[in-house]
Structure 1
């Protein structure tokens, strides 16, 4: 038995820290429970992002069990938050002596818990490994690179990730191509997605301009590069206001975005009957909004994947993406923050000439099952 597998009989600790992690972890937990015998699992929520009402609803939407442990770290600077997760996670390792930990995605909690586990001699499996934007100004890119370097088992969502990891000197026998667990949640939940009209009604919005089947677009923005600088945020809002004259927009406002719109006194740019403003939405509501949308305009990595799986055109308001397969095979187009590129992209989609794309390899709703099968064998080696 290797030093890194000294707690062979211990539970698997699954770590979540922020909203996108929940969508990735929910199908993994179901798949681990279906192993014969079921694998012992402890779900740890670091509390990196936590809104009690929204988190409770998200757990319900995804049929995700409540966390066994919540570290309640809360928001802070990247350095403070990472350090605090590490400080609070170490006693969990000492107490429960896990056989391994499973981390997903690229948030601060992913890197922090990986660092603690590796230094304690605990095996680490990273789900969604190898994705790269090649933009080291993104904190998530640093988290991805470092986590992949020190994790023991790397589960990839697309073939290009393997090339990224091999270029970084990671051995092939640490890699396992399994597909995309985010799509597992989408496949599992699509039948329960709320119709967009119902979502508007529940939000108390006058939706009279949205006739059944009428075209509309969905907007989300939250990345600091888009919403923290007044000139960039103003330019994007002016462009969205112009787009809204072509088709109504449903804008699910992230708290950071709303706060900066108010801080920079830009509210007048989104005060339009053609732009419906909603608070952050639950998973089933957001899924329903996307299913029926003519186009999604976003800077979210997860929405790039979900729109590709749904066959809905997506315009990504970024200069790069760590999910190139959504461009090469899917429905995604990078438009950055350039007004003309965004307008032209919308016009192309509304003309019926936008990308139709295809479903990427192994984005079939069974990625979590492949992970659980491999994990069960791997931790016993």
Structure 2
């Protein structure tokens, strides 16, 4: 039975390349689909005309729309515990432990961090027009379900851990060395320009609400305009597309290499078979074929020490082996003088 044309290493490379190519293509299509949907979505500003636009739809709903406005709290705003003058509608406090981990392979210390504590506080908020008019304001629903919270870092402090001699000795033995704690505060500040992309609905009481789309499309809240988000999605889509293409090329190159090697083996096998048939035909035409019960000559093959010497190796001219041993040579070099073999001719003994 012939061996598989693909080695285990090539099979692993081929399978992983195809798997990564499929995954990257899926991510590319997903990002491209979201970017296309945002490109086609209506672009609106918070203003007095929004209720009329929604009423004209007949359903009081726009399934996917980009709305730009200014953030204002619907209730009491959140105040930063570190900067009393800052007020926001979403606050996230994060405490991270930073440490060094010994990497035995790289023989060096690498940075690592672990979230020790994370707290998120939120108060209901709305988007209003730049003029600050209350009419036509849009209430933002479920902001924590957005793909990414539009927060700004307003406070950051790193507290370094002090170590004694015993602590340092224990760190080197354990392979972990604490650096300290990083405390950060992020907020969505009142007065920020925010773009919300989602489903816009008009309730019976006349209020407007921006909420996650019912069809599962991406729900985005971003500082700034929608063009920035669209550019980021298109860049990510292009990156995953090229990554999928590179992995596909690697898989194709691996498969072609394996097929080329299998084809060369097949051609070499055919050449050996044809060479053996031609050799046997020449011996039969000269009447030099051995009978089954005929004794072997004294000049036996120097390789197998069983069969008679049947061929002359050119250009060195040594007569030293049988034809089967000649075919089994790992390299086409003379077993006597190691010179390259250009061709072989049958030996005729009278």
TM band (smaller chain): under 0.3
Structure with the bigger percentage of helix: 1
Structure with the bigger percentage of strand: 2
Give 1 or 2 for the bigger CA radius of gyration. Answer: 2
- Alignment TM-score, normalising by the size of structure 1: 0.23
Higher relative contact order (CA 8 A, sep 6+): 2
